[in-house]
Structure 1
């Protein structure tokens, strides 16, 4: 159950961080305005809070593992929001990153 909660938090964090960065990008690069930028800033702040809800207490481990989720999530976001078509190397790289997340976060450890 803890693993499912952790995975759900990683997904929520990815949506907030990638979405926040995308909103700022849209506001600045696509000239959609300050409202988009502000929404992005709020989303990025919420991402920082969500990361603290992970069951593991190690900031470094959480952030390192989240990096893999971010890579895969960014490609997925680009495909859905911007019509980007990941190629086989993008997909392979994302799967390698997610495997790394599994090892970092969920491998059994002797304490």
Structure 2
């Protein structure tokens, strides 16, 4: 699996994690029904599963690369779902994180 396949899995994992966490946020902070927790829990389980599909032998590396993609996806969520446009500082910071994630993904495989 190449860098682009890993990137796609990371984006799907980020959406699943954010959706799952948002379900808990909605229940606790937005006074939504406790029923929001059911799809939230499923989304969080999907997130965990998707991270195991990334082609790397070490969980720590998968999580490190995922971090940058999660940050960018969170800002897209902020805009698309919550209706708040990220600031230029958000975008600058996310760009640095995404570059870092790309460097990690493009690096040579670790040896056992």
Identify the residue that residue 17 of structure 1 maps to in structure 2: 17
Q: Per-residue deviation at 1:107?
A: 2.7
Extract unaligned runs of 5+ from structure 2.
none
Matched residues in 2 for 1:87 and 1:98: separation? 16
Bigger RCO of structures 1 and 2 (CA < 8 A, at least 6 apart): 2
1:14-53 correspondence runs (5 A): 14-53=14-53
Extract unaligned runs of 5+ from structure 1.
none
Matched residues in 1 for 2:8 and 2:90: separation? 23
Identify the residue that residue 96 of structure 1 maps to in structure 2: 96
Partners of 1:13 and 1:51 within 8 A in 2: yes
Matched residues in 1 for 2:109 and 2:35: separation? 46
Q: Per-residue deviation at 1:23?
A: 1.3
For residues 82-103 of structure 1, the C-alpha deviation after alignment (integer angstroms, 9 at most, x for no partner) is 1111111100000000000011
Q: What is the TM-score with the length of structure 1 in the denominator?
A: 0.92
Matched residues in 1 for 2:65 and 2:110: separation? 19
Matched residues in 2 for 1:97 and 1:82: separation? 22
Give the 4+ runs in structure 1 shifted more than 2 A.
Answer: 107-111
Q: How many residues align?
A: 111
CA RMSD across the alignment? 1.5
Partners of 1:78 and 1:84 within 8 A in 2: yes
